[in-house]
């Protein structure tokens, strides 16, 4: 999905939220000052974003706002990669570790079209932070010695080459945009009518095309001559949306 289309969807969602706020303002005035922050909810959940916690408050009877943090456990995978030394025309095997740990933040606005009869909602907002989707690290004493001699070495990741530094270390990975528009839907209230309730949500972060990066270098360009049909490059070309599925326990604390 193109960025323009995403922005249009967000604008439409914001207009809908604004309309709901205006329609419900008079009723909320009878209960509190525009019904803002007259209740507070807390949620703890888990899903494809990791383990999350958030705090929520109503903007109206139809709209709730929330701010949360998600922590993805740093699950690591150990493997080997091929390091190429251009000047020598030879390859070396290097042990590398891939990790997916990251911390992200969410700002969301839930709209409940039928607040009296249903907990169904549509939501729009932003996910930000945690732009490094996968982190790759590795080390080789042999490659450190070659780099110290002025040789260039790097590990091949699809059509990309992550350089080995003078210490024989490899530090890079896959990253996405730091600010990612979000759209979703589900069942369950941010602030339950009872003290405790369950909430289910599914949606998508529009993260753009992932890129390969290297610490100290930045985004990497494709290497001419590498196989353009490798699986990693295909994944980077098509994985522009990060799916979100989350199940949480909600509590009303005020």
pLDDT in tens, 84-94: 776 656 777 88
pTM of the model: 0.77
Over 90: is that where the pLDDT of 42 sits?
yes
What domains are there in the chain, each with its CATH number? 3-252 (2.40.160)
The answer to whether 72 and 50 are in contact (CB under 8 A) is yes
Over 60: is that where the pLDDT of 227 sits?
no
Helices (H) and strands (E) in the chain, counts: 3, 16
Cα separation, 153 vs 169, in Å, equals 11
Radius of gyration of the chain (CA): 23
pLDDT category of residue 34 using cuts at 50, 70 and 90 = very low
CA atoms within 13 A on the CB side of 113: 9
Residue appearing with tokens 């999905």 = 1
What is the SS3 assignment for 13?
Answer: helix
pLDDT in tens, 120-140: 999 999 999 999 998 999 988
Q: Report the candidate in 179, 53, 175, 183 with the shortest Cα–Cα distance to residue 128.
A: 179
């Amino acid at each position: 999905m193109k960025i323009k289309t995403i922005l249009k969807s967000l604008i439409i969602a914001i207009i809908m939220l604004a309309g709901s706020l205006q329609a419900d303002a008079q009723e909320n005035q009878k209960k509190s000052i525009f019904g803002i922050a007259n209740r507070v909810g807390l949620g703890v959940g888990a899903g494809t974003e990791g383990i999350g916690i958030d705090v929520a408050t109503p903007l109206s009877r139809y709209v709730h706002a929330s701010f949360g943090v998600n922590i993805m456990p740093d699950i690591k995978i150990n493997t080997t990669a091929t390091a190429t030394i251009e000047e020598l025309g030879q390859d070396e095997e290097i042990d590398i570790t891939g990790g997916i740990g990251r911390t992200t933040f969410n700002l969301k606005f839930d709209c409940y079209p039928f607040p009296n009869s249903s907990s169904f909602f549509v939501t729009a907002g932003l996910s930000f932070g945690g732009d490094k989707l996968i982190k790759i690290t590795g080390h080789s004493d042999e490659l450190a010695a070659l780099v110290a001699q002025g040789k260039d070495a790097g590990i091949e990741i699809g059509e990309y080459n992550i350089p080995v530094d003078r210490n024989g270390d490899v530090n890079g990975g896959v990253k996405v945009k730091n600010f990612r528009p979000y759209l979703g839907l589900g069942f369950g209230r941010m602030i339950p009518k009872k003290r405790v309730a369950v909430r289910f949500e599914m949606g998508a972060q529009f993260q753009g095309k992932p890129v390969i990066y290297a610490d100290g270098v930045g985004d990497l360009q494709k290497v001419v001559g590498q196989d353009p049909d490798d699986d990693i490059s295909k994944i980077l070309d098509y994985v522009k949306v990060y799916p979100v599925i989350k199940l949480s326990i909600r509590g009303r604390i005020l």
